[in-house]
A and B are shown apart, each in its own frame.
Chain A
Amino acid sequence: MTTMTPSPTTGTPDPIDPATGTAVPQTHLPAYDDDAPPPLPRPGLGKPSPDERFALIGSWVAGAALAWLLTQRLLPLAGLPWFLISWFVVGLVVTGVTAGITGGMTEVKDRVAAGVITGAALVTGAALVSTVVFVTMRGWRAALNLNFYTSDMSGVGPKDNFDKGGILHAITGSGIELGIALLITLPLGIGTAVFMTEVGGKFATVVRTVVEAMTALPSIVAGLFIYTVLIVALGFPRSGLAASLAIAVMMLPIIARAADVVLRVVPGGLREASLALGSSRWRTVWHVVLPTARPGLATAVILGIARGVGETSPVLLTSGAAAFTVTGPTDGVMNSLPLFIYTNVRSGEPQAIARAFGAATVLLALVLVLFVVARLLARPRGNRPTLRARLAGALAPNRAAR
């Protein structure tokens, strides 16, 4: 065998058979050059090149300038809205043109589509952010007082200053109404989902269709239903309990449907494994299916709560509004956050309106917290690092890098 320099791709080359002069096939062992510099990752992999970025930014800047010229100088379309609209249109055109300079039709379509989609995302985001900002801007002065959270509106007039009165009664009312609604919908909703996934059959299909249709039930109808049945027909007074029932009607399909989706993704192999051990169907559901789906079920429940906490029309018809704190669900009229917002915004007094926006801020924060909790719970259990592990990782950065 002659000595030859190993090439990095093939390692040692095939030796030549002296008798025939042809290469003898053999396997190769990799060769490494120990003196070569260590491998460095290529920079900017998977990111747009500087040229592309320049073209993108340049196009939109050019679009802005053109749009300004068009709307503010040439056409009688003064004002921000017209500028924004024409910026979007002109920007798209300029992007298309610059893409056309360097590339073909595919490039043009690609860039324009990217522009349209980004624009849509920005509009959605802006709508959301501006809602939150607008509400907070108008409500923060009321919401920054401590008494806003510790006292109710009994004996406080609509013109009184922010250092008097608060929304304790509305928060308590919302809490009680939601609590009762949850007591009803949690077992019923998850029970319905278990029925739909584990029992199956024709009737389950019917139930699933009804549940899906009910998720689109207008909330005013839910309110009317409880109002006519409980208050008009059966003669019960307006109360927190009636409001809870109306909210429960709204929450039930949401929870049942979300839980149904969650239960359906539990692998069938787990059910089979459990049954093969000699388990009954209900023990399988209780000990295997529900625990496996637990994080998803928690999310389903929180989605239901988030829906129920903001519903106005069911409580509007069924609970009546009190200015003082009521804790008994059957003790007559009870206020809640959406109802408080509704009545105060309509009063016309600037102070009352500010209080309504303060309450709206609280409600928004509440829903936000609920969604964050839902997201946290929805993460798979197995590979969720514990807090300590995450801290340890953060405190010892780049140890593995070298």
Chain B
Amino acid sequence: MTGDRTDVLPSIGDQHASTTVIPAVPAVPAIPAAPSGPPVPTTASLEAERVSAWFGQRKVLDRVSLEMPAGRVTALIGPSGCGKSTFLRILNRMHELVPSAALAGEVRLDGQDIYAPERRLTDARKAIGMVFQKPNPFPAMSIQDNVLAGLRLTGTKIGKGEREGLVEESLVRAGLWLEVKDRLKQPGSALSGGQQQRLCIARSLAVRPRVLLMDEPCSALDPTSTRVVEETIQQIAADVTIVIVTHNMQQAHRVSHQCAFFLAAHGTPGVIVEHGPTDTIFDNPQDQRTSDYVNGRFG
């Protein structure tokens, strides 16, 4: 990418021959990793190259390429059903949970393809965390156990003292510590929706991911909780690469450094129409459709 120019994609028709289909691999239970503390967080860049996706016979993404640079916030925008969630789920191998799903192309974390046969599925998901649209804390666990759930679920063992430190650190980073520090033993489902979503962010951060994917994390929240979550995103962006799907143009404008506009014209798979620095996408886009969308004229 160069300077303040946005890139219009895709360049039609030239990559068709090299597109190969990798059938979705069923989730294989992994052998738990050798006990070790959570790795020190380092940001990583994420790069999707010519990603196509199918559900059964239906193609929903067509050769989508996007670079998500380390330590930056990338926002994915676009009308409903254009494949933003599908693209996001491809980035941490959640796509293949759908039995009929297939995909082609590469997703590279710091230059290494996460779909390479020798890479373990669980390692990719550990390095690339995800926050969902609907807050989903584990109801059978306390707030503290929710934060530590990632360690327990991946078989990572850490000392007791370290554990308390990690809980506090993750909750502080998620902007929830002050509200829950006196009731860490209470069930996670006893929090408000906004608090639950921040708890889910803390849960994702506790495994020290290098990338955090967020699928409309604020769409179930009130304006105040939304603001807190947005502040959280801005604070953690320095050490975690963030990709966020949002329908809220102001939010995309506020939190992201770069933006990608997805569009699926009627009956065709979704593509990226245009991507580039957020300000440029909003103020000076090259494609008329982008300009229409960000100004609320369609979608």
Contact = CB atoms under 8 A, between A and B. Distances in A.
B50 interface: no
A273 B125 contact: no
A96 B186 CA distance: 56
Contacts of A276: 92, 94, 125, 129-130, 132, 204
A151 B125 CA distance: 62
Interface in B153-206: 153-155, 187, 189-190, 200, 203-204
A157 interface: no
B123 A273 contact: no
A277 B126 contact: yes
B138 A277 contact: no
A59 interface: no
A53 interface: no
Nearest to B123: A278
Could you say which of A270, A276, A277 has the most chain B C-beta atoms within 10 Å of its C-beta? A276
A272 interface: yes
Contacts of B132: 269, 272-273, 276
B154 A281 contact: no
Contact of B94 (A272, A292, A381): A272
A135 B27 CA distance: 56
Contacts of B154: 277-279, 283
A381 B187 contact: yes
A43 B126 CA distance: 60
A20 interface: no
Contacts of B125: 275-278
B97 interface: yes
Interface in B195-234: 200, 203-204, 207
A294 interface: yes
A308 B273 CA distance: 64
B207 A282 contact: no
A280 interface: yes
A277 B149 contact: yes
B85 to A, nearest CB: 12
A274 B204 CA distance: 10
Interface in B80-111: 92, 94, 97
Contacts of A291: 138, 140-141
B286 interface: no
B126 to A, nearest CB: 3
A270 B204 CA distance: 13
B5 interface: no
Contact of A288 (B97, B123, B126, B138): B138
B122 A280 contact: yes
Contacts of A104: none
A278 B140 contact: no
Interface string B1-42: 000000000000000000000000001011010000000000
B200 A273 contact: yes
A383 B189 CA distance: 10
A300 B162 CA distance: 39
Interface in A275-305: 275-284, 287-288, 291-292, 294
B295 interface: no
Nearest to B188: A382
A277 B153 contact: yes
Nearest to B186: A382
A267 interface: yes
Contact of B153 (A267, A272, A283, A382): A283
A277 B130 CA distance: 7
A195 B146 CA distance: 26
A273 B125 CA distance: 11
Interface string B117-137: 000001111110110101010
Contacts of B123: 278
Contacts of A284: 153
B136 A270 contact: yes
B254 interface: no
Contacts of B204: 276-277
A381 B140 contact: yes
A41 B267 CA distance: 56
Interface string A374-393: 00000001100000000000
16 contacts: A270-B138, A272-B132, A273-B130, A273-B132, A276-B92, A276-B125, A278-B127, A283-B29, A283-B155, A287-B149, A288-B140, A292-B140, A294-B140, A381-B139, A382-B139, A382-B190
Interface of A: 267, 269-270, 272-284, 287-288, 291-292, 294, 381-382
Question: Which 9 pairs across A and B sit closest by C-beta, in order of nearness?
Answer: A278-B126, A279-B153, A291-B140, A276-B130, A277-B150, A280-B29, A278-B125, A269-B136, A278-B122
Given A273-B132, A277-B125, A279-B122, 14 more contacts: A270-B139, A273-B136, A277-B126, A278-B122, A278-B123, A278-B125, A278-B154, A280-B30, A283-B29, A284-B153, A287-B149, A288-B153, A291-B141, A381-B139
